[in-house]
Amino acid sequence: MEIIEHYGLILLVLAVAFGFFMAWGVGANDVANAMGTSVGAGALTIKQAVIIAAVFEFAGAYLAGGQVTSTIRRSIIDPAIFSDSPELLVYGMIAALLAAGIWLLIASLNGWPVSTTHSIVGSIVGFAAVGIGFDAVNWGRVGTIVLSWVTSPLCAGILAFVLFRSVQVLILDKDDPFERAKKYIPYYMFLVGFVMAMVTFLKGLSHVGLELSFLDATTYSAGVGFIVVIIGMILLRNIKVDKNADRDFHYASVEKVFAVLMIFTACGMAFAHGSNDVANAIGPLAAVNSVIASGGVITSQAPIPVWILALGGGGIALGLIMYGHKVIATIGKGITHLTPSRGFAAELAAGTTVVIASGTGMPISTTHTLVGAVLGVGFARGIAAINLRVIRTIFISWVITLPAGAILAIIIFYILKAVFG
Protein backbone atom coordinates (compact mmCIF):
# COMPACT_ATOMS: atom_id res chain seq x y z
CA MET A 1 0.00 0.00 0.00
CA GLU A 2 2.84 2.40 0.86
CA ILE A 3 4.42 1.97 -2.56
CA ILE A 4 1.09 2.80 -4.24
CA GLU A 5 0.77 5.92 -2.08
CA HIS A 6 4.31 7.15 -2.74
CA TYR A 7 4.78 6.19 -6.39
CA GLY A 8 1.19 5.93 -7.62
CA LEU A 9 1.38 8.90 -9.99
CA ILE A 10 4.71 7.77 -11.49
CA LEU A 11 3.41 4.24 -11.99
CA LEU A 12 0.24 5.55 -13.62
CA VAL A 13 2.27 7.74 -16.01
CA LEU A 14 4.35 4.68 -16.97
CA ALA A 15 1.18 2.64 -17.52
CA VAL A 16 -0.31 5.38 -19.71
CA ALA A 17 2.87 5.66 -21.80
CA PHE A 18 3.26 1.91 -22.25
CA GLY A 19 -0.49 1.46 -22.84
CA PHE A 20 -0.29 4.00 -25.67
CA PHE A 21 2.80 2.17 -26.99
CA MET A 22 0.90 -1.12 -26.91
CA ALA A 23 -2.07 0.49 -28.71
CA TRP A 24 0.39 1.82 -31.29
CA GLY A 25 1.57 -1.76 -31.80
CA VAL A 26 -2.01 -2.98 -32.23
CA GLY A 27 -2.46 -0.39 -34.97
CA ALA A 28 0.84 -1.14 -36.66
CA ASN A 29 0.28 -4.90 -36.67
CA ASP A 30 -3.22 -6.14 -35.93
CA VAL A 31 -5.20 -3.42 -37.72
CA ALA A 32 -3.08 -3.96 -40.81
CA ASN A 33 -4.44 -7.50 -40.96
CA ALA A 34 -7.98 -6.26 -41.49
CA MET A 35 -6.84 -3.85 -44.23
CA GLY A 36 -4.31 -6.13 -45.89
CA THR A 37 -6.79 -8.09 -47.97
CA SER A 38 -8.47 -4.95 -49.33
CA VAL A 39 -5.13 -3.41 -50.32
CA GLY A 40 -3.72 -6.63 -51.73
CA ALA A 41 -6.85 -7.13 -53.81
CA GLY A 42 -6.55 -3.66 -55.30
CA ALA A 43 -9.94 -2.57 -53.94
CA LEU A 44 -8.28 0.15 -51.85
CA THR A 45 -4.96 1.96 -52.01
CA ILE A 46 -2.81 1.94 -48.88
CA LYS A 47 -3.68 5.61 -48.32
CA GLN A 48 -7.43 4.89 -48.58
CA ALA A 49 -7.09 1.86 -46.30
CA VAL A 50 -5.20 3.85 -43.68
CA ILE A 51 -7.86 6.59 -43.70
CA ILE A 52 -10.77 4.11 -43.46
CA ALA A 53 -9.06 2.07 -40.76
CA ALA A 54 -7.98 5.09 -38.72
CA VAL A 55 -11.54 6.46 -38.70
CA PHE A 56 -13.41 3.20 -38.10
CA GLU A 57 -10.86 1.68 -35.70
CA PHE A 58 -10.95 4.82 -33.54
CA ALA A 59 -14.75 4.92 -33.73
CA GLY A 60 -14.99 1.27 -32.74
CA ALA A 61 -12.51 1.66 -29.89
CA TYR A 62 -14.07 4.88 -28.56
CA LEU A 63 -17.77 4.16 -29.08
CA ALA A 64 -17.94 0.41 -28.50
CA GLY A 65 -14.77 -0.60 -26.72
CA GLY A 66 -15.68 0.32 -23.14
CA GLN A 67 -16.55 -3.00 -21.58
CA VAL A 68 -15.88 -3.55 -17.88
CA THR A 69 -12.49 -5.20 -17.67
CA SER A 70 -13.08 -8.40 -15.73
CA THR A 71 -10.41 -10.39 -17.51
CA ILE A 72 -8.17 -10.31 -14.43
CA ARG A 73 -10.58 -12.52 -12.51
CA ARG A 74 -12.08 -14.61 -15.29
CA SER A 75 -9.14 -15.08 -17.58
CA ILE A 76 -5.47 -15.51 -16.86
CA ILE A 77 -4.70 -14.61 -13.24
CA ASP A 78 -6.60 -14.42 -9.93
CA PRO A 79 -6.63 -10.88 -8.43
CA ALA A 80 -7.11 -12.26 -4.91
CA ILE A 81 -3.46 -13.33 -4.95
CA PHE A 82 -2.43 -9.65 -5.05
CA SER A 83 -4.69 -8.39 -2.24
CA ASP A 84 -1.78 -8.03 0.21
CA SER A 85 0.68 -6.67 -2.36
CA PRO A 86 -1.23 -4.70 -5.01
CA GLU A 87 1.99 -3.12 -6.24
CA LEU A 88 2.97 -6.49 -7.75
CA LEU A 89 -0.15 -6.44 -9.93
CA VAL A 90 0.70 -2.89 -11.02
CA TYR A 91 4.30 -3.85 -11.84
CA GLY A 92 3.06 -6.91 -13.72
CA MET A 93 0.51 -5.08 -15.85
CA ILE A 94 2.98 -2.30 -16.70
CA ALA A 95 5.59 -4.94 -17.59
CA ALA A 96 3.04 -6.81 -19.73
CA LEU A 97 2.13 -3.64 -21.65
CA LEU A 98 5.75 -2.73 -22.38
CA ALA A 99 6.74 -6.31 -23.22
CA ALA A 100 3.83 -6.79 -25.62
CA GLY A 101 4.48 -3.38 -27.17
CA ILE A 102 8.16 -4.20 -27.76
CA TRP A 103 7.29 -7.54 -29.38
CA LEU A 104 4.67 -5.93 -31.61
CA LEU A 105 7.21 -3.30 -32.67
CA ILE A 106 9.73 -6.02 -33.58
CA ALA A 107 7.06 -7.96 -35.49
CA SER A 108 5.78 -4.88 -37.30
CA LEU A 109 9.28 -3.81 -38.37
CA ASN A 110 9.73 -7.24 -39.94
CA GLY A 111 6.24 -7.36 -41.44
CA TRP A 112 5.18 -10.35 -39.32
CA PRO A 113 1.41 -10.51 -38.66
CA VAL A 114 1.31 -11.71 -35.04
CA SER A 115 -1.56 -11.84 -32.57
CA THR A 116 -1.82 -8.89 -30.19
CA THR A 117 -4.03 -11.03 -27.96
CA HIS A 118 -1.35 -13.68 -27.66
CA SER A 119 1.31 -11.01 -27.15
CA ILE A 120 -0.42 -9.58 -24.08
CA VAL A 121 -1.45 -13.03 -22.82
CA GLY A 122 2.13 -14.28 -23.05
CA SER A 123 3.35 -11.22 -21.19
CA ILE A 124 0.83 -11.60 -18.35
CA VAL A 125 1.51 -15.35 -18.07
CA GLY A 126 5.23 -14.67 -17.89
CA PHE A 127 5.22 -12.18 -15.04
CA ALA A 128 2.55 -14.11 -13.08
CA ALA A 129 4.16 -17.56 -13.37
CA VAL A 130 7.72 -16.47 -12.59
CA GLY A 131 7.22 -13.30 -10.55
CA ILE A 132 4.27 -14.49 -8.43
CA GLY A 133 3.97 -18.24 -8.64
CA PHE A 134 3.19 -21.03 -11.09
CA ASP A 135 -0.25 -21.57 -9.54
CA ALA A 136 -1.19 -17.91 -10.12
CA VAL A 137 -1.87 -18.68 -13.78
CA ASN A 138 -5.09 -20.21 -15.08
CA TRP A 139 -3.38 -22.78 -17.27
CA GLY A 140 -6.66 -24.13 -18.58
CA ARG A 141 -7.41 -20.74 -20.10
CA VAL A 142 -3.91 -20.54 -21.59
CA GLY A 143 -4.40 -23.99 -23.12
CA THR A 144 -7.64 -22.84 -24.73
CA ILE A 145 -5.84 -19.86 -26.24
CA VAL A 146 -3.16 -22.15 -27.65
CA LEU A 147 -5.93 -24.32 -29.14
CA SER A 148 -7.26 -21.25 -30.96
CA TRP A 149 -4.04 -21.19 -32.98
CA VAL A 150 -5.48 -24.17 -34.83
CA THR A 151 -9.24 -23.57 -34.68
CA SER A 152 -9.43 -19.95 -35.87
CA PRO A 153 -7.34 -20.21 -39.07
CA LEU A 154 -8.85 -23.61 -39.85
CA CYS A 155 -12.45 -22.36 -39.60
CA ALA A 156 -11.70 -19.21 -41.58
CA GLY A 157 -9.73 -21.15 -44.18
CA ILE A 158 -12.56 -23.62 -44.78
CA LEU A 159 -15.14 -20.84 -45.06
CA ALA A 160 -12.95 -18.83 -47.43
CA PHE A 161 -12.37 -21.91 -49.57
CA VAL A 162 -16.13 -22.58 -49.81
CA LEU A 163 -16.96 -18.92 -50.50
CA PHE A 164 -14.42 -18.54 -53.27
CA ARG A 165 -15.39 -21.86 -54.82
CA SER A 166 -18.99 -20.58 -54.91
CA VAL A 167 -17.75 -17.46 -56.72
CA GLN A 168 -15.88 -19.64 -59.19
CA VAL A 169 -18.84 -21.95 -59.83
CA LEU A 170 -21.54 -19.26 -59.99
CA ILE A 171 -19.61 -16.47 -61.74
CA LEU A 172 -16.00 -16.86 -62.82
CA ASP A 173 -16.27 -20.21 -64.63
CA LYS A 174 -19.26 -19.13 -66.73
CA ASP A 175 -19.26 -17.78 -70.29
CA ASP A 176 -20.83 -14.47 -69.20
CA PRO A 177 -19.08 -13.70 -65.87
CA PHE A 178 -19.94 -9.99 -65.83
CA GLU A 179 -23.68 -10.58 -66.22
CA ARG A 180 -23.53 -13.41 -63.69
CA ALA A 181 -21.71 -11.10 -61.29
CA LYS A 182 -24.45 -8.49 -61.64
CA LYS A 183 -27.00 -11.21 -60.85
CA TYR A 184 -25.35 -12.82 -57.83
CA ILE A 185 -23.41 -9.92 -56.27
CA PRO A 186 -26.52 -8.61 -54.41
CA TYR A 187 -26.69 -11.90 -52.49
CA TYR A 188 -23.05 -11.56 -51.49
CA MET A 189 -23.71 -7.94 -50.56
CA PHE A 190 -26.42 -9.06 -48.18
CA LEU A 191 -24.02 -11.59 -46.65
CA VAL A 192 -21.36 -8.91 -46.18
CA GLY A 193 -23.78 -6.48 -44.50
CA PHE A 194 -25.32 -9.21 -42.36
CA VAL A 195 -22.05 -10.72 -41.14
CA MET A 196 -20.30 -7.42 -40.47
CA ALA A 197 -23.35 -6.16 -38.55
CA MET A 198 -23.33 -9.36 -36.50
CA VAL A 199 -19.65 -8.81 -35.66
CA THR A 200 -20.50 -5.32 -34.42
CA PHE A 201 -23.67 -6.21 -32.51
CA LEU A 202 -22.20 -9.29 -30.83
CA LYS A 203 -18.67 -8.04 -30.11
CA GLY A 204 -19.09 -4.28 -30.03
CA LEU A 205 -22.24 -2.51 -28.96
CA SER A 206 -22.79 -4.52 -25.77
CA HIS A 207 -19.88 -2.48 -24.39
CA VAL A 208 -21.96 0.70 -24.46
CA GLY A 209 -24.89 -0.82 -22.65
CA LEU A 210 -26.80 -2.07 -25.70
CA GLU A 211 -27.33 -5.70 -24.77
CA LEU A 212 -28.86 -7.60 -27.67
CA SER A 213 -29.97 -11.21 -27.74
CA PHE A 214 -28.70 -13.38 -30.57
CA LEU A 215 -32.18 -13.21 -32.17
CA ASP A 216 -32.34 -9.40 -31.93
CA ALA A 217 -28.82 -9.11 -33.36
CA THR A 218 -29.83 -11.40 -36.23
CA THR A 219 -32.93 -9.33 -37.01
CA TYR A 220 -31.08 -6.00 -36.97
CA SER A 221 -28.22 -7.48 -38.99
CA ALA A 222 -30.65 -8.62 -41.68
CA GLY A 223 -31.89 -5.03 -41.90
CA VAL A 224 -28.31 -3.80 -42.29
CA GLY A 225 -27.79 -6.43 -44.98
CA PHE A 226 -30.70 -5.05 -47.02
CA ILE A 227 -29.38 -1.49 -46.60
CA VAL A 228 -25.98 -2.59 -47.91
CA VAL A 229 -27.70 -4.21 -50.90
CA ILE A 230 -29.50 -0.95 -51.72
CA ILE A 231 -26.33 1.16 -51.43
CA GLY A 232 -24.33 -1.42 -53.34
CA MET A 233 -26.85 -1.59 -56.18
CA ILE A 234 -26.65 2.19 -56.54
CA LEU A 235 -22.85 2.00 -56.78
CA LEU A 236 -22.99 -0.90 -59.23
CA ARG A 237 -25.10 1.04 -61.71
CA ASN A 238 -22.01 3.04 -62.67
CA ILE A 239 -19.89 -0.03 -63.41
CA LYS A 240 -19.87 -1.00 -67.06
CA VAL A 241 -18.00 -3.61 -69.06
CA ASP A 242 -14.49 -2.40 -69.95
CA LYS A 243 -13.61 -4.37 -73.08
CA ASN A 244 -10.09 -2.97 -73.29
CA ALA A 245 -9.29 -4.00 -69.73
CA ASP A 246 -10.90 -7.40 -70.30
CA ARG A 247 -8.49 -8.08 -73.17
CA ASP A 248 -5.56 -7.90 -70.75
CA PHE A 249 -7.37 -9.69 -67.93
CA HIS A 250 -10.57 -11.58 -68.74
CA TYR A 251 -12.17 -10.79 -65.37
CA ALA A 252 -11.17 -7.10 -65.09
CA SER A 253 -14.77 -5.84 -65.29
CA VAL A 254 -16.01 -8.55 -62.92
CA GLU A 255 -13.37 -7.64 -60.32
CA LYS A 256 -14.57 -4.02 -60.36
CA VAL A 257 -17.94 -5.32 -59.18
CA PHE A 258 -16.34 -7.23 -56.31
CA ALA A 259 -14.23 -4.19 -55.39
CA VAL A 260 -17.43 -2.44 -54.30
CA LEU A 261 -18.03 -5.24 -51.78
CA MET A 262 -14.60 -4.83 -50.25
CA ILE A 263 -15.26 -1.23 -49.29
CA PHE A 264 -18.03 -2.46 -46.99
CA THR A 265 -15.99 -5.35 -45.59
CA ALA A 266 -13.04 -3.06 -44.84
CA CYS A 267 -15.19 -0.56 -42.88
CA GLY A 268 -17.04 -3.29 -40.97
CA MET A 269 -13.92 -5.23 -40.00
CA ALA A 270 -12.12 -2.07 -38.87
CA PHE A 271 -14.99 -0.98 -36.59
CA ALA A 272 -15.45 -4.45 -35.11
CA HIS A 273 -11.72 -4.89 -34.58
CA GLY A 274 -11.39 -1.53 -32.86
CA SER A 275 -14.25 -2.34 -30.49
CA ASN A 276 -12.79 -5.74 -29.59
CA ASP A 277 -9.00 -5.66 -29.71
CA VAL A 278 -8.49 -2.25 -28.11
CA ALA A 279 -8.95 -4.12 -24.81
CA ASN A 280 -5.54 -5.77 -25.38
CA ALA A 281 -3.92 -2.37 -24.85
CA ILE A 282 -6.25 -0.60 -22.44
CA GLY A 283 -7.37 -3.55 -20.30
CA PRO A 284 -4.11 -3.72 -18.29
CA LEU A 285 -3.99 0.09 -18.19
CA ALA A 286 -7.52 0.19 -16.75
CA ALA A 287 -6.46 -2.36 -14.12
CA VAL A 288 -3.48 -0.21 -13.07
CA ASN A 289 -5.63 2.93 -13.00
CA SER A 290 -8.22 1.18 -10.82
CA VAL A 291 -5.65 -0.06 -8.28
CA ILE A 292 -3.94 3.34 -7.99
CA ALA A 293 -7.21 5.30 -7.88
CA SER A 294 -8.48 3.11 -5.04
CA GLY A 295 -5.25 3.45 -3.07
CA GLY A 296 -4.25 -0.17 -3.56
CA VAL A 297 -7.61 -1.92 -3.24
CA ILE A 298 -8.06 -4.58 -5.92
CA THR A 299 -11.58 -5.13 -7.21
CA SER A 300 -12.82 -7.87 -9.53
CA GLN A 301 -13.93 -5.33 -12.11
CA ALA A 302 -12.16 -2.26 -13.42
CA PRO A 303 -14.38 0.21 -15.30
CA ILE A 304 -12.64 1.92 -18.21
CA PRO A 305 -12.73 5.76 -18.13
CA VAL A 306 -13.45 7.56 -21.39
CA TRP A 307 -9.94 9.07 -21.51
CA ILE A 308 -8.41 5.59 -21.56
CA LEU A 309 -10.66 4.61 -24.47
CA ALA A 310 -9.61 7.73 -26.37
CA LEU A 311 -5.95 7.01 -25.64
CA GLY A 312 -6.32 3.46 -26.95
CA GLY A 313 -8.14 4.59 -30.07
CA GLY A 314 -5.58 7.30 -30.78
CA GLY A 315 -2.65 4.92 -30.34
CA ILE A 316 -4.22 2.40 -32.71
CA ALA A 317 -4.79 5.04 -35.41
CA LEU A 318 -1.24 6.43 -35.07
CA GLY A 319 0.37 2.96 -35.24
CA LEU A 320 -1.51 2.11 -38.41
CA ILE A 321 -0.57 5.41 -40.08
CA MET A 322 3.13 5.10 -39.18
CA TYR A 323 3.92 1.41 -39.72
CA GLY A 324 0.83 -0.48 -40.83
CA HIS A 325 1.99 -0.68 -44.45
CA LYS A 326 4.54 -3.43 -43.71
CA VAL A 327 2.06 -5.98 -42.37
CA ILE A 328 -0.52 -4.88 -44.95
CA ALA A 329 1.98 -5.91 -47.63
CA THR A 330 2.54 -9.34 -46.03
CA ILE A 331 -1.16 -10.15 -45.68
CA GLY A 332 -2.27 -8.59 -48.94
CA LYS A 333 0.54 -9.58 -51.27
CA GLY A 334 2.99 -11.96 -49.61
CA ILE A 335 0.83 -15.06 -49.04
CA THR A 336 -1.02 -15.35 -52.35
CA HIS A 337 -2.06 -13.02 -55.17
CA LEU A 338 -5.38 -11.42 -54.25
CA THR A 339 -8.05 -9.88 -56.47
CA PRO A 340 -11.27 -8.26 -55.19
CA SER A 341 -13.22 -11.53 -55.59
CA ARG A 342 -10.57 -13.44 -53.62
CA GLY A 343 -10.15 -10.70 -51.04
CA PHE A 344 -13.90 -10.48 -50.53
CA ALA A 345 -14.05 -14.22 -49.83
CA ALA A 346 -11.20 -13.94 -47.32
CA GLU A 347 -12.65 -10.95 -45.44
CA LEU A 348 -16.18 -12.34 -45.31
CA ALA A 349 -14.85 -15.71 -44.10
CA ALA A 350 -12.82 -13.98 -41.37
CA GLY A 351 -15.84 -11.94 -40.28
CA THR A 352 -18.07 -15.00 -40.23
CA THR A 353 -15.54 -16.87 -38.10
CA VAL A 354 -15.54 -14.02 -35.57
CA VAL A 355 -19.36 -14.20 -35.41
CA ILE A 356 -19.28 -17.96 -34.82
CA ALA A 357 -16.63 -17.48 -32.14
CA SER A 358 -18.78 -14.83 -30.44
CA GLY A 359 -21.75 -17.17 -30.26
CA THR A 360 -19.74 -20.13 -28.94
CA GLY A 361 -17.28 -18.30 -26.69
CA MET A 362 -14.30 -19.71 -28.59
CA PRO A 363 -11.15 -17.61 -28.07
CA ILE A 364 -9.96 -16.30 -31.40
CA SER A 365 -7.22 -14.21 -32.95
CA THR A 366 -8.01 -11.69 -35.68
CA THR A 367 -4.54 -12.26 -37.12
CA HIS A 368 -4.78 -16.02 -37.29
CA THR A 369 -8.32 -15.83 -38.65
CA LEU A 370 -7.39 -13.57 -41.56
CA VAL A 371 -4.23 -15.47 -42.43
CA GLY A 372 -6.24 -18.70 -42.45
CA ALA A 373 -8.88 -17.11 -44.67
CA VAL A 374 -6.28 -15.88 -47.17
CA LEU A 375 -4.76 -19.37 -47.17
CA GLY A 376 -8.19 -20.87 -47.86
CA VAL A 377 -8.57 -18.67 -50.94
CA GLY A 378 -5.08 -19.68 -52.03
CA PHE A 379 -5.89 -23.39 -51.68
CA ALA A 380 -9.03 -22.88 -53.77
CA ARG A 381 -6.67 -21.87 -56.60
CA GLY A 382 -4.21 -24.69 -55.95
CA ILE A 383 -1.18 -25.15 -53.67
CA ALA A 384 1.10 -23.51 -56.26
CA ALA A 385 -0.72 -20.21 -55.67
CA ILE A 386 0.59 -20.01 -52.08
CA ASN A 387 3.99 -18.61 -51.07
CA LEU A 388 5.06 -21.34 -48.64
CA ARG A 389 8.18 -19.40 -47.56
CA VAL A 390 6.04 -16.51 -46.28
CA ILE A 391 3.67 -18.96 -44.56
CA ARG A 392 6.59 -20.63 -42.78
CA THR A 393 7.83 -17.28 -41.49
CA ILE A 394 4.34 -16.34 -40.26
CA PHE A 395 3.88 -19.66 -38.42
CA ILE A 396 7.26 -19.31 -36.71
CA SER A 397 6.36 -15.79 -35.55
CA TRP A 398 3.08 -17.17 -34.13
CA VAL A 399 4.84 -19.89 -32.15
CA ILE A 400 7.37 -17.56 -30.55
CA THR A 401 4.86 -14.79 -29.69
CA LEU A 402 3.82 -16.20 -26.29
CA PRO A 403 7.34 -17.04 -25.02
CA ALA A 404 8.75 -13.78 -26.43
CA GLY A 405 6.16 -11.73 -24.56
CA ALA A 406 6.66 -13.81 -21.42
CA ILE A 407 10.46 -13.45 -21.32
CA LEU A 408 10.34 -9.69 -21.92
CA ALA A 409 7.65 -9.24 -19.24
CA ILE A 410 9.64 -11.22 -16.66
CA ILE A 411 12.72 -9.05 -17.22
CA ILE A 412 10.75 -5.79 -17.05
CA PHE A 413 8.78 -6.98 -13.98
CA TYR A 414 11.96 -7.58 -11.98
CA ILE A 415 13.43 -4.26 -13.11
CA LEU A 416 10.33 -2.42 -11.87
CA LYS A 417 10.36 -4.41 -8.65
CA ALA A 418 14.01 -3.48 -8.07
CA VAL A 419 13.44 0.20 -8.84
CA PHE A 420 10.29 0.76 -6.78
CA GLY A 421 10.75 -1.94 -4.12
Q: Is the pLDDT score of 367 beyond 90?
A: no
Per residue in 312-324, pLDDT (tens digit) is: 888 887 888 887 7
Which pLDDT band holds residue 302 (cuts at 50, 70, 90)?
low
Q: Is the pLDDT score of 84 beyond 70?
A: yes
Residue span of the structural domain in which 202 resides: 2-420
CB 240 within 8 A of CB 307: no
pLDDT of residue 410: 94
Q: What is the Cα–Cα distance from 69 to 48, expressed in whole angstroms? A: 33
Pick the range with the lowest mean pLDDT from 63-77, 198-212, 268-282.
63-77
Per residue in 348-362, pLDDT (tens digit) is: 888 778 767 655 555
CA gyration radius for the chain?
Answer: 22
Per residue in 314-350, pLDDT (tens digit) is: 888 788 888 777 777 666 666 666 778 888 888 888 8
| CA-based nearest residue to 307, from 16, 22, 11, 10 | 16
pLDDT of residue 337: 66
Q: Is the pLDDT score of 102 beyond 70?
A: yes
Q: What is the Cα–Cα distance from 241 to 179, expressed in whole angstroms? A: 9
> What is the three-class DSSP state of 77?
strand
Per residue in 122-171, pLDDT (tens digit) is: 898 898 888 888 888 888 877 877 777 778 888 889 998 999 899 889 98
Highest average pLDDT, of 79-93, 205-219, 242-256, comes from 79-93
Q: What is the Cα–Cα distance from 18 to 200, expressed in whole angstroms? A: 28
* CB neighbours of residue 400 within 10 Å: 16
Burial (CB count within 10 angstroms: exposed 0-12, middle 13-18, buried 19+), residue 173: exposed
Q: How many CA atoms lie within 13 A of 30 on its CB side?
A: 37
pLDDT: which is higher, 238 or 386 = 238
- Helix 31-40 and helix 252-277: axis angle, to 10°? 180
Q: Is the pLDDT score of 265 beyond 60?
A: yes
Q: How many domains does the chain have?
A: 1
Pick the range with the lowest mean pLDDT from 7-11, 109-113, 229-233, 289-293.
109-113
Which pLDDT band holds residue 15 (cuts at 50, 70, 90)?
very high
pLDDT of residue 205: 60
Looking at every residue in the chain, the average pLDDT score rounds to: 79
| CA-based nearest residue to 368, from 338, 414, 399 | 399
CB 176 within 8 A of CB 254: no
pLDDT of residue 13: 93
With a threshold of 0.85, does the pTM exceed it?
no
Q: Is the pLDDT score of 113 beyond 50?
A: yes
Which pLDDT band holds residue 64 (cuts at 50, 70, 90)?
low
Q: What is the Cα–Cα distance from 42 to 52, expressed in whole angstroms? A: 15
pLDDT of residue 411: 95
Q: Is the pLDDT score of 408 beyond 90?
A: yes
